Structure 1
Amino acid sequence: MSFETSRDDIPSSSPTVTGKNVVFGRTVVPVPLRNKPLKWGMFGEYAEHGFIGDAINLTLAGGKKVPASDHKFKLTNGLVVTYGQINGLAGDFYGTTKPISDGKDAQEQSARFIAAYNTLAAPRWRQPKEAQSILRVLQTEVDAVNKALHDHTNPSEAYNKLPDVSAKLQWLTLARPFGIPSYLSLALINWDHFGEHARIAYNAGHAAAMQVAIHGDLELAYTLNAFADHFLEDSFSAGHLRTPRKALHGTVNVAYDACAKYMHDEDCAIGLTVKNLAGESWTCYGDKRVLDKEDAENLRRCVAAIQASADEIYEAFVTKNAPSSSNYKAWTIAPVLESARDPNQTLSALFRCTDPEGKDLERRSLLKNRRLREYTTSWTAAQTVKDCISSGWWKYPITIDGPRKGVPWTDFAVTTLRNKSSRVYYQNSLGGILENAHIDGQWEEAVNSPSVSDAAPFTPLAAINWDDGNQIRLYYLNAEYTLQEYCCVDGEWTAGALSTLNIAAAPNTSIAAFQYEDDEGVHIRIYLQEAGSFEIQEYCNDGSWVRGATLPTALSGTSIAAVVYDMDGVQFRVYYQAPDLYIREHCMGSDGSGWYPGGFSGDKAPGQTQIGAFFAGSRGDVPEVYWMNIDNDIIRSVQTDGCWRTSKVVGPLTRGTRFAPAQWDDGKHVRVYYQAEDNCVLEVCKDDNGEWYAGSTVGEGSGESDTTD
């Protein structure tokens, strides 16, 4: 008889469900760790199996103890690997079409385990080159995660930005012999990694390893046990404890398998309160969160269980005796499954079985209420997958109350469609742009629309609309700081023509925009600072985009506000901060004579203070300019009778807070949107020239202060 990492994090980006959508378990193998003490920030999420296996000590046949990361095993097919590398490859990359836990008794389960182990260790076509190629692909991720750690990036969030190598792994494993599934095919039948099935799989492998140790081959016994320990480690991952994986398996419809992945990802990210047989209680997280500070206690316990598992192999080698499965030491350390399945968990289970056979499945009735303990039988797998994808609630970082809304220090853009109807745009923590719609006096929930995914961090924003809001234009910078235009026409967003000009913007620029209409159609103006220049540059669209006027030199990174009004012809005003820190006005009159300095007068302001402006036609086409003063108050300056008069709107706020004013009904109703200390998007209102009052909470924040992000 021959003898011979779980990263369940492949995000779905399309409602089309394929085998790739339901990959469970790709844990990359760690670099040697030299058995260093466990400290947060030292290792990567990739280490979920590989690191833990290499973090223990092994006692060799002569009694010498060595770090597992330092000891190389040579398998019968010539593959040279560490204990942790076997651990990481087991189950996720190597196994058979017959799950171990499906064996009818312990003897058959043991035989199935050995067959699974042999797919890695025994000589066959393409081995050991296949395993070596897999390890090389995974090393790319090892390097990327190590860089994230070096840069002090939160691993649980940084890992989601790593390149997806699923296609490479599938290609490497596609031509396997009959009975040995490819990488993606193995993921579809992976209930050996979940709940009671993981315990059965570990017990089968651990028992087989101890029998080999009793017969005198300690090295072979350790490699068998390393393979078995993969399933033990899964028993410390929250997403593997209560997910009804086998019940959520579709022999034809893989949407059921995708549903299992969503429950797995949710539990892993948010965590479950668990207990072990000793009555000890802690919070258990899972895949992607191994390196987070919150999971440090769970990680220590998991390593202790793997150490106990390996120690039992050595004890069997020395004593020639093996304990029964009910006395395996690891199970005294691991979470008790019933504790994870406690119905009083703060995080309500996405799915639950209502019969002992695990066949009747109920789903949480409201996907986006993770605290709700109400369930329904009226659900379909395909619709659930579609709803999970479209909700954005399963994009990392996954939290119990959904995606973080406003990123700290986000810019804002507001465009008013008609009376009591507007759109507010701001950036979320994932870098996308959120839209909050105010329709006829009622705020709707923020949505990830437009579906911008390439915005630069803290991108400036500007928005305009016409045709009663059926035409919207959004302007922002992409990751290369190139000016982008996104167009919404009757509810459908597409890239705009301005994006094709490849306008290189200064990374700290602001963007201002307005539009107006005449007999010739719609006209658009954009203002920003370009790369390498402090001057404000205009771009014009009077049918096609062209470069316009160059305005005066401004403070680097100045905020820019621009307005248009009709007073004996169309006139423009642009507001900016000069290098001397005073806010200036530059105007273009209706007589065609060109641009000239305006007469705006305001106090000296902090550098790069936020500026906003609009015209209030109800008060005789008077401009209103908003800016933040040295006391961190938002100030309103209104021109009346040729003089500028100032008043406080709201404050003091956090220095550098962004805001945006808006109006409808010719300035009778004014709204200012800004970010509070908890990153919520708030509204302050003024109606019919009355007093300012607090409005709605437009968008939710992270609940954290700005200094924590």
Structure 2
Amino acid sequence: MSTTSMRVFFQDSSLAIREFRHSTASLWSGGTSGDDITLAGRRRAPLAAKEWTESGMRRMRVYTLDAQNNVREVCCDDEASWVDGHHGPAAAPFSDIATTVYDASQRRIRVYYQLPDRQIQELCNDVEWVSGATMRTLPAGTPSLQPIEGTAIASVGWGDTASDIRNYVQDDNGHICEYSTGSGWGAIRLGVRAKLHSPLAAVTWVDSEGRQIRIYYLDDENIIREYFFTTTKGWYDNPLIGSISTRPVKAAPYSRLSSTASKYWIRVYYQPSGLDAIEELCCDFGDSRGWYNGARLSVTPPSSKPIDVDVNTYTLGWLPYLIDDPLAIDGAGILIGFEDGHLISEDLKHKQAMYLAANTKGNSYTYVYTPNGSIVYRLWKHDHRDDYVRHSQVERSKDAICAGEFRVSQAGHIESVVLMKNDSGEYDKPTGGKCLARISEKLESMGITTNDIDWYWK
């Protein structure tokens, strides 16, 4: 475990930003509602944080995008309270955010975000905040390195001048690309491909072999991978064929990645499937274990499990009204959101995140829209009447707001939603199609487009 002081920041289900704190005594604390840093971001807001020492004082900055997609900063100096900082310009609605600091003694801060035309914009603070460079594509006739819309951004910086900053993004083909101030923000495509819209994290340090850089990303199977740079060798794959360890480490499909390092150790943080926690991976240089599991940072009390990625939380154990328990029903799940062209759900019995499978001619999903705003479902094979699960079983409550069926297309989108009452559950059929509007709002809040859905009620 680390013997240094550090912070891990995350967004909770109320959209507030919270922090975990690691002390020099190797103890973690925080993560509760009392650890908010008084900054609310948009739904699934990107986060970037940086710490440095200036004039003997420990300084921390956290950056995010607010509900209007404006760059926002909060500041903490020498363990004082968090205070509001810079209110910056608007980024694209799909933008990530990254930050780095070079020449810490002079507080040279850089923040990076994506513009609507997909280019990366720099925001600079040397004395005051000003707009910086725009990272454009290469000239005509060269391979296009334009970042993919919604690319993750990772940034590292060092030295006493702005010539030592590196930004990492992903292009349309999934390749990781590097923008370098040393080449006037020229771009190169690195020799590694990540899954489309992979999270990215990067760290740098100097040791006896010179400058070291590591990039962390997810492959198509959501395995955490590592890409190396050293002054003597240039860029190359981890000897473990890109894997971060001999034991493949799998993140949730919707996980972000973050990392920090010194010349003695590296730490990587990610969100695993089926756990209400943030996991820590540790590598201590010279330790024969290589990468090993670190802390498990529990986001909520054990009795409350947030598995909806937007503002609603489906808390297991809230609704003990009926004998029927969706946690005991094979195939019962809850919709989480839409990422990388797939509907994401979580199997409630096995606590496993997954892609929601497309329907075929003979099946559909039965669902209930619960009082706390979650969509709980189960696959129904139409020719297996003995396998049919009533809506009241899936709901486990006397008060489902509405229920029905939906279908998922081969392209991974919801293609139709039917509102109905087709069993003897203890709730009433909604009036008209009023509840469909609530379901539509819920889907949109999870990032699931509703423009092409066919809506029915009966």
Q: Describe the shift of the 1:554–1:445 C-alpha distance in structure 2 as closer, same or farther (beyond 3 A).
A: same
Q: In the aligned structure 2, how far is the partner of 1:569 from the partner of 1:622?
A: 18
Match of 1:642 among 224, 234, 243: 234
Mapped pair 1:601 → 2:191:
yes
> Matches of residues 57-456 of structure 1 in structure 2 within 5 Å?
420-440=4-24, 441-447=26-32, 448-456=34-42
Change (3 A) 1:567 1:526: closer
Instruction: Pick the aligned partner of 2:267 from 671, 677, 691.
Output: 671
What one-letter code is carried by the residue in structure 2 that aligns with 1:473?
A: R
Residue 637 to residue 567, structure 1, CA distance change in 2 (3 Å):
farther
Structure 2 partner of 1:511? 97
SS of equivalent residue, structure 2 residue 69: coil
Q: Are the structure 2 counterparts of residues 578 and 469 from structure 1 closer, same or farther at C-alpha, using a change threshold of 3 Å?
A: farther
What's 1:699 paired with?
Answer: 298
Question: AA paired with 2:77?
Answer: V
Partner of 1:533: 117
Deviations 1:55-94 (A, max 9, x none): xxxxxxxxxxxxxxxxxxxxxxxxxxxxxxxxxxxxxxxx
Matched, 1:686 2:275: no
The equivalent of 1:616 in structure 2 is 205
C-alpha displacement at 1:450, in angstroms?
Answer: 4.4
Question: How far does residue 505 in structure 1 lie from its aligned partner after superposition?
Answer: 1.5
Mapped to 1, the partners of 2:235 and 2:114 lie a distance apart of 29
Equivalent-residue separation in structure 2 for 1:614 and 1:542 (angstroms): 22
Distance 2:95 2:104 in 1: 30
Q: Match for 2:150 among 532, 546, 557? A: 557
Task: Give the partner amino acid of 1:513.
Answer: T
Counterpart of 1:575? 168
2:71 equivalent in structure 1:
483
- Could you say if the C-alpha distance between residues 445 and 657 of structure 1 is closer, same or farther in structure 2, counting changes exceeding 3 Å? same
What do residues 362-404 of structure 1 show as CA deviations (whole Å, max 9, x unaligned)?
xxxxxxxxxxxxxxxxxxxxxxxxxxxxxxxxxxxxxxxxxxx
Amino acid at match of 1:612: A
Q: How many angstroms does 1:587 deviate by?
A: 0.6
Structure 1 CA distance for aligned equivalents of residues 212 and 74 of structure 2: 31
* Counterpart Cα distance in 2 of 1:625 and 1:527: 17
What amino acid maps onto 2:224 in structure 1?
I
Q: Distance in 2 between matches of 1:679 and 1:504?
A: 32
- Counting only pairs closer than 5 Å after superposition, residues 37-56 of structure 1 correspond to structure 2 as none
Alpha-carbon distance in 2 for matches of 1:682, 1:518:
29
CA contact (8 A) 1:534 1:555 kept: yes
1:628 corresponds in structure 2 to 218
SS of residue matched to 2:92: coil
For 2:366, the equivalent position in structure 1 comes to none
1:432-458 deviation line (CA, Å, top 9, x unaligned): 111100111221232444433532111
Letter in 2 for 1:481: N
* Paired position in structure 1 for 2:350: none
CA contact (8 A) 1:611 1:625 kept: yes
Shift of residue 568, structure 1, vs aligned partner: 9.4
Pair 1:678–1:587, CA change in 2 (3 A)? same
Q: Supply the AA of the counterpart residue of 1:516.
A: Y
Between the aligned partners of 1:446 and 1:492, the Cα distance in structure 2 is 16
TM-score (norm 2): 0.57
Shift of 1:482: 1.2
Aligned length: 281
Looking at structure 1, the residues matched to 148 and 250 of structure 2 have their Cα atoms a distance apart, in angstroms, of 24
Relative to structure 1, the CA distance from residue 454 to residue 656 in structure 2 (aligned partners, 3 Å threshold; closer, same or farther) is: closer
Quote the Cα distance in structure 2 between the aligned partners of 1:615 and 1:455.
Answer: 28
Structure 2: distance between partners of 1:606 and 1:482: 28
1:633-667 CA-to-partner distances (Å, cap 9, x unmatched) read: 01011124124123312522322321211113x2x
Q: What are the superposed Cα offsets for residues 572-621 of structure 1, whole Å, 9 maximum, x if unpaired?
A: 110000122211011111xxx62222463212x22210011011312421
Q: Would you tell me which structure has more strand in proportion to its own residues?
A: 2
For 2:160 and 2:84, the matched residues in 1 are separated by 34
Residue 683 (structure 1) shift: 0.7
SS of equivalent to 1:617: strand
Stretches of structure 2 that go unaligned for 5 or more consecutive residues are: 137-145, 309-332, 337-458
Assess if the C-alpha contact under 8 Å between 1:436 and 1:699 holds in 2. Answer: no
AA at the equivalent of 2:200: I
The alignment partner of 1:459 has SS state of coil
Closer, same or farther: CA 599–579 of 1 in aligned 2, 3 Å: closer
User: CA separation of 1:432/1:704 partners in 2, compared to 1, >3 Å: closer, same or farther?
Assistant: closer
Q: How many Å apart are 1:567 and its aligned residue?
A: 9.2
Between structure 1 and structure 2, the one with the greater Rg is 1
CA–CA distance in 2 between the matches of 1:453 and 1:461? Answer: 11
1:493, 1:445 → 2: CA distance? Answer: 15
Distance 1:572 1:451, change over 3 A: closer
Alpha-carbon offset, residue 704 of structure 1: 5.7
Mapped partners of 1:459, 1:655: distance in 2: 16
Instruction: Give the number of the structure whose residues are more often helix, by fraction.
Output: 1
Cα distance in structure 1, aligned partners of 2:117 and 2:265: 37
Does the 8 Å CA contact 1:600/1:644 hold for their aligned counterparts?
Answer: no
Whether 1:460 and 2:46 are equivalent positions in the alignment is yes
* TM superposition shift of 1:678: 1.8
The alpha-carbon distance between structure 1 residues 595 and 614, as it changes in their structure 2 partners (threshold 3 A), is same
Give the Cα separation in 2 of the matches to 1:602 and 1:438. Answer: 33
The percentage of aligned residue pairs carrying the same residue is 29
Rounded to whole Å, the distance in 2 between the matches of 1:557 and 1:568 is 29
- Structure-2 separation of matches of 1:697 and 1:635: 20
TM alignment of 1:653-668, pairs within 5 A: 653-664=251-262, 666=263, 668=264
